[in-house]
Amino acid sequence: MVRRLPRKDVAIVGLGWTGSIMALELCRSGLDVVAIERGPWRDTATDFNIGTAPDELRYAVRHDIFLRTRQETLTMRNNSSQTALPIRRWGSFLPGNGVGGAGSHWNGQTWRFLPDDFRLRSKMIERYGEGIMPEGNQIQDWPMSYDELEPFYDKFEYVLGISGKAGNIKGQTQAGGNPFEGSRERDYPTPPMKQGYSQELFMKAAAGMGLHPFPRPSANLSSAYTNPYGCSMAPCTYCGFCERFGCSNYSKSSPQTCVLPALVREPNFEARTECEVTKVTLSGDGKMATGVVYVDANGEEWEQPADLVLLCAYGLFNVRLMLLSGIGKPYDAGTGEGVVGRNYAYQTGSGATAFFDNVNFNPFAAAGSLGAALDDYNSDNFDHGPHGFVGGASITNAYTNGRPIMYRPTPRGTPTWGSAWKKAVRETYQRVTNVGAQGSVMSYRANYLDLDPTYKDELGRPLMRMTFDYQPNEIKMANWMAERCEAIAKAMGAKTTQINRLNTPWNVVPYQSTHNTGGTVTGSDPKTSVLNRYLQSWDVPNVFVMGASTFPQNAGYNPTGTVGALTYWALDAIQKKYLKSPGALVQQ
Amino acid sequence: MHTDDRSAMRAKFAPPTETPRHSGMSRRSLLATAALLITTTGATAKVVTKVLPWRPNEAYPVTPVVPGGWLFFTADEAAVVDAIIDRLIPADELGPGAKDSGVTTFIDRQLTGPYGGHDWLYMKGPFATNPLPTQGLQSPLTPRQQYRQGLAALAAYCKANFGGRSFVDLSGEDKDKLLAGMEKGDIKFEGFSSRMLFNAVHTNTMEGFFADPIYGGNKDMAGWKLIGFPGVRYDFRDVIDNPNKPYTLPPVSLQGQPAWGVR
C-alpha cells in the first residue's frame, strides 16, 4: 500500500554533487525541495574522521562507503550474443552510495572538455572526411558549445576551489598552463598543487620532447579557500587517502565540504536518507511526472508528489530509473531505434610503467589529483590523419597513493609469492612510476544499457544490463597512446620500461575507471537523444536528468568538471526559463 | 533488506564475539534510533533539515582485533593456513613473514565478519556454470565455504598423495611445488578447485600483511616496514617539499606505534 505525502515543488533523486547543487540553488529560488537518497547521511567529522578514515582495508578493499552490490548492481556481457551475468563484486568501476555520492570518494581531477569535444562528429568529418569515422559508431555533436558552457565551468570550479594553472585566459595563452584548453574567463580559484620528484622528471622530459606539460587541475586544494557558498576548506597535506576515501581534512572538494553546510541551512530543504526511489510516477497520458515513489528504511512505500523531478543519482542509475519508469523509448540494439540506454561509453586506460635506479619517489606522499599532465595527444590536438582513429587521451604522471594492499608494483615476470617476491616488492616500491593515458571512448551501436531479463534486485525490479566492449578504434588509439607514454617514460631516465596496452575484452575484475557515460544523452534530435540541450526529457518535460549519463560519447578526461558545468547550465535554464513558463524548453 | 542502518553495517564489520575496546557501538545504535524521526508528514524516514546531523565525538571506528584463539578455523585448519602463508610470505633476512605477523588471525577474523559471508554482495542466482572470464566473481561459495571446503579438499589430497601426511608435515620443497600447482590450477583436488583455495589464501594473506595492524595482521607493521610505507602519518607536505630524499621516520598505524604503549 503506497501512502501519499504532501506535495513538494521539487523532488531530487540522489544527494551527490548534482543533487546538492540543484537543491541549494532551487531552495534559494524559493522552492520547497526534498532530496531522497538511498544511502546514509555522511559527514566529514563523523564518517571521514581522521582517527578512522585512513584505513585501506576497510574503504579501498572492502568498499565500506560504496554502493553494495546486494543493494543494486548491473549485469554485464561483452556483446549481445552472450548471456549477461551480475557484477557480484565491483571491480572495473565503483559506484557511490549515500550523501555526497561518488563526489565524496573521488580523486578530484576536475577538467573542462575541449571545444572540439563538443562538436566531435562535425570536426572529424570537416578535417578528415567521413572515412575516419569508425564502423558502427553513433558519435554525435553535443547540443551546446564549449563557449556556452564556459561560465558554468567557471561557476563549478569556484564552488570547488579548484587548484590549477590556466593555459588560456580570454584567448591569451598562459605560460605554465595547458595551451590546448578552451578560452576561460579567469584563472583557477587557487594555485596548482606542488608536484613530486617524478612529476619534475616528467615535465622536464616532456618539455624536452616538444610537448606541453602542466600541473593538472585538482580538487585537492593547494591552499585554504572559502567558496561562494561560504564553505571553507583547508590545504591538502598529501596524505595519500583520496580515491575510495572521504577526506578527513576538508581539503578535497565534495558535497560535504562545498555545498551541504550551506544547503542544510535552507529552511525549505529536507533530505530523506536511506530511502530508495523505485520509480518516477507519471500522469495518465504519460506526458508529465507526478512525483516519485520510494521505499524507506522500514521497507514501507511512499509516494512523494512533486511538480519537478530531478534525477541526480549516479549516471548509470539515472538510466535504470528512466527505464523502470517508462520515460523515453528504450534503445533496441537490434533495430537501432529508441534512445534510453543508447550510447553507453566508458574510457580506455593504457600507458607505460617505468623502473628507475637509486631514486626515492615516495609514492605515499600523494593526492588524488596530484600529477602533471599533457594534452598534446588529446581530442583533435594532433593530426589523426596518419593514425586512422578518432579520439585521444590525456597523458599523466601521477601518484594518487602508495597504499600497500593495492599498490606494490613488481616487474612483469616476478613470482607472486615467496622470498623472491618479497625481495622484488621491497626493491621496487620506491623506484617505479607510471605514465598513463586516459582515453576517450566513442559511442557505438553495439554498446548499450537495457533491462536484464533474468536478474532482479532486492525489491524485485530487473537489474540493468550493460553490453560493452572496446571497439577496434579504441584499441588502436589506446595502444598508440601507450607507445607515446613509453617514449616519455624513457626520456624521464627510466632504466627499464614496460608498455601497458589496453586490456581486451573489457573485463569487470580489475579497477579501470568510474567514468561511465551515456544512456540518457543530450542532443538536438529526439530520435538520437533522451534529453534536449537543457537536460530536460523530450518526453516528460518536468523531468531533468543530471550526470555523465547525458554525455553523447566520452572524452579523454575525468567527467566531473563537465558534469558540474552541465548542472549549472541546466539550473540556469530551469531558473530563467522553466520556472517562468513550465513546459518543453526546446520545441520538437 | 538492503536498508540496514549504518550502525548495524558498522557493527557487522567487526567480529561480533569480541568485546569492543571503544564503547562506540552501543552509543551509535542509540543515535541511530534517535535519528529515526517522525516527520510532520507522518512518514517514518531519516530526515535531515535545518541542521547538519552531527554530534561531538561521533565517529565509526572498527573494533580492534584481539589475538588469541580462533573464531572460525579449527585448530587443524589454522595450522594448515599457518603453514601455507609461511611459504607465501616467509620470514627471511628481509624481516618477518606472514605467519609471525598475525596473518592467520587476520584471516580468521575476516572470515567471521561480513566479508566471510559475502554479506554485502549480490548473491542471487542463477549461478552460471560457465561464466566468461570477463564476468568476474560468479561462484555461489562464500569465503567461509571456500576455506572450509578448500582446506578439507587439500587435506584429502595430501593424505592421498603424500602417504597419509598433512600439508603441515610436508617438506618446504613439496609445499612450494604443491602451492605452485594450485596457483596454476594444475593440481586437481577432489570436488574443489585448488586454484580457488590458492587465490583465497593468497589474496587474504596480502591483505593481512599490508592492512592496518588493527585487523590482527601486519604485526609491528612488518609489512609496511618491508617496503617503507609510513602508514597513516597524515601530513606529507615535508616529503613533497624535499623531493627524492629517503623517508626515515618509522610507520604509524591507526592505533599509533607499539613504542607509544597500549591505548
Q: What is the 3-state secondary structure (H, E, C) of A383-426?
A: CCCCCCCCCCEEEEECCCCCCCCCCCCCCCCCCCCHHHHHHHHH
pLDDT of B29 strictly over 70: no
CB pairs under 8 A between A and B: 261
Residue to substitute from A241, A362, A421, interface B, most B β-carbons within 10 A:
A362
Residue pair A322/A328 in contact by the 8 Å Cβ criterion = yes
Give the gap in angstroms from C-alpha B77 to the nearest C-alpha of chain A.
21
Position B114 confidence tier, pLDDT thresholds 50, 70, 90: very high
Measured from the Cβ of residue B251, the count of other Cβ atoms closer than 10 Å reads 21
β-pairing, A348-355 vs A74-77, is unpaired
Regions in chain A scoring below 50 on pLDDT: none
Set of cell numbers at residue A228: 561562494
Rounded distance between C-alpha atoms, residue A35 and residue B49, angstroms: 10
β-pairing, A462-467 vs A448-456, is antiparallel
- Report which of B104, B98, B108, B144 is spatially closest to residue B18, judged by C-alpha positions: B108
The residues, ordered by sequence, that sit 6+ positions from B93 with a Cβ below 8 Å of its Cβ are none
Residues of A within 8 A of B214 (CB-CB) are: 55
Enumerate the active-site residues of A.
515
Residue pair A441/A516 in contact by the 8 Å Cβ criterion = no
pLDDT of residue B38: 41
- Report which of A221, A110, A237 is spatially closest to residue A163, judged by C-alpha positions: A221
**Count of H helices and E strands in chain B?**
9, 4
Distance of CA B34 to the CA centre of its chain: 32
Residue to substitute from B9, B10, B120, interface A, most A β-carbons within 10 A:
B120
**B16 at interface of A, judged by CB pairs closer than 8 A:** no
**A470 at interface of B, judged by CB pairs closer than 8 A:** no
Residue pair B168/B79 in contact by the 8 Å Cβ criterion = yes
Cβ of A88 and B123 within 8 Å?
Answer: yes
Cβ of B132 and A82 within 8 Å?
Answer: yes
Cβ of A403 and B229 within 8 Å?
Answer: yes
β-pairing, A462-467 vs A393-397, is unpaired
Dihedral sign for Cα atoms in the order A103, A106, A108, A111: negative
Rounded distance between C-alpha atoms, residue A79 and residue A100, angstroms: 33
- Report which of A363, A404, A368, A395 is spatially closest to residue A514, judged by C-alpha positions: A368
Residue to substitute from B4, B5, B6, interface A, most A β-carbons within 10 A:
B6
Helix (H/G/I), strand (E/B), else coil: A137: strand
Helix (H/G/I), strand (E/B), else coil: A69: coil
Chain B residue at shortest CA distance from A242: B234
**CATH number reported for the structural domain that contains residue A316 in this entry:** 3.50.50.60
Give the gap in angstroms from C-alpha A521 to the nearest C-alpha of chain B.
26
Rounded distance between C-alpha atoms, residue A509 and residue A294, angstroms: 32
Cβ of A73 and B48 within 8 Å?
Answer: no
Residues of A within 8 A of B229 (CB-CB) are: 364, 402-404, 429
Distance of CA B231 to the CA centre of its chain: 17
Cβ of B122 and A57 within 8 Å?
Answer: no
Amino acid at B50: K
Percentage of chain B exceeding pLDDT 90 = 75
Rounded distance between C-alpha atoms, residue A545 and residue A315, angstroms: 9
- Report which of B235, B234, B254, B238 is spatially closest to residue B246, judged by C-alpha positions: B238
pLDDT of residue B54: 76
Position B45 confidence tier, pLDDT thresholds 50, 70, 90: low
> Over the stretch B178-188, which tens digit does the pLDDT of each residue have?
999 999 999 99
Q: Do the domain assignments include residue A585?
A: no
pLDDT of residue A485: 98
Amino acid at B144: R
- A483 by Cβ neighbours in 10 Å (0-12 / 13-18 / 19+) ranks as middle
pLDDT of residue B50: 86
Cβ of A85 and B59 within 8 Å?
Answer: no
pLDDT of residue B258: 75
Element (H, E) at A449: strand A448-456
**A40 at interface of B, judged by CB pairs closer than 8 A:** yes
Helix (H/G/I), strand (E/B), else coil: A498: strand
Residues of A within 8 A of B133 (CB-CB) are: 507
Residues of B within 8 A of A62 (CB-CB) are: 13, 115, 120
Cβ of A194 and B241 within 8 Å?
Answer: yes
Give the gap in angstroms from C-alpha B28 to the nearest C-alpha of chain A.
11
Cβ of B121 and A68 within 8 Å?
Answer: yes
Residue pair A521/A143 in contact by the 8 Å Cβ criterion = no
Q: ∠A436-A439-A440 over CA atoms, to 5°?
A: 170
Q: What ipTM was reported for this prediction? A: 0.96
Position B82 confidence tier, pLDDT thresholds 50, 70, 90: very high
Give the gap in angstroms from C-alpha A5 to the nearest C-alpha of chain B.
7
Helix (H/G/I), strand (E/B), else coil: A298: coil
Rounded distance between C-alpha atoms, residue A586 and residue A450, angstroms: 27
pLDDT of residue B262: 55
Give the gap in angstroms from C-alpha A57 to the nearest C-alpha of chain B.
6
**B100 at interface of A, judged by CB pairs closer than 8 A:** no
Rounded distance between C-alpha atoms, residue B88 and residue B201, angstroms: 9
Mean pLDDT of chain B: 86
Mean pLDDT lowest for which of A143-157, A510-524, B17-31, B216-230? Answer: B17-31
Domain region containing A468: 3-580
Residue pair A53/A241 in contact by the 8 Å Cβ criterion = yes
pLDDT of residue B53: 83
Residues of B within 8 A of A249 (CB-CB) are: 234
Chain A residue at shortest CA distance from B206: A405
State the greatest distance between any 2 C-alpha atoms of chain B, in Å, as a whole number: 74
Rounded distance between C-alpha atoms, residue A10 and residue A8, angstroms: 5
Element (H, E) at A473: helix A472-491
Q: Which B-chain residues 175-234 have CB contacts (< 8 A) with chain A?
A: 176, 179, 183, 202, 205-207, 210-212, 214-215, 223-224, 226-234
- Report which of A255, A268, A261 is spatially closest to residue A230, judged by C-alpha positions: A261
pLDDT of residue B17: 36
Set of cell numbers at residue B223: 609489512
> Over the stretch A358-399, which tens digit does the pLDDT of each residue have?
999 999 999 999 999 999 999 999 999 999 999 999 999 999
Q: ∠A557-A559-A565 over CA atoms, to 5°?
A: 120
Measured from the Cβ of residue A210, the count of other Cβ atoms closer than 10 Å reads 7
Inter-CA distances, A435 with A176, A203, A533, Å: 20, 11, 36
Q: Do the domain assignments include residue A354?
A: yes
Set of cell numbers at residue B80: 594448515
Give the gap in angstroms from C-alpha A39 to the nearest C-alpha of chain B.
8
**B5 at interface of A, judged by CB pairs closer than 8 A:** yes
Cβ of A365 and B239 within 8 Å?
Answer: yes
CA torsion B231→B234→B235→B240, rounded to 10°?
50
pLDDT of residue B8: 46
pLDDT of residue B30: 35
In the block, residue with C-alpha cell 559508431 = A137
Cβ of A297 and B36 within 8 Å?
Answer: yes
Q: Tally the domains of chain A.
A: 1
Residues of A within 8 A of B254 (CB-CB) are: 51-52, 54-55
Cβ of A40 and B46 within 8 Å?
Answer: yes
Residues of B within 8 A of A362 (CB-CB) are: 236, 239, 245, 247
Cβ of A274 and B88 within 8 Å?
Answer: no
Set of cell numbers at residue B11: 557493527
**B235 at interface of A, judged by CB pairs closer than 8 A:** yes
pLDDT of B16 strictly over 80: no
Give the gap in angstroms from C-alpha B191 to the nearest C-alpha of chain A.
23
Exposure string for A270-287, b = 16+ CB within 10 A, e = fewer: bbbbbbbbbbbbbeeeee
Kindly state the DSSP code that residue A16 receives in the 8-state scheme.
S
Q: Do the domain assignments include residue A541?
A: yes
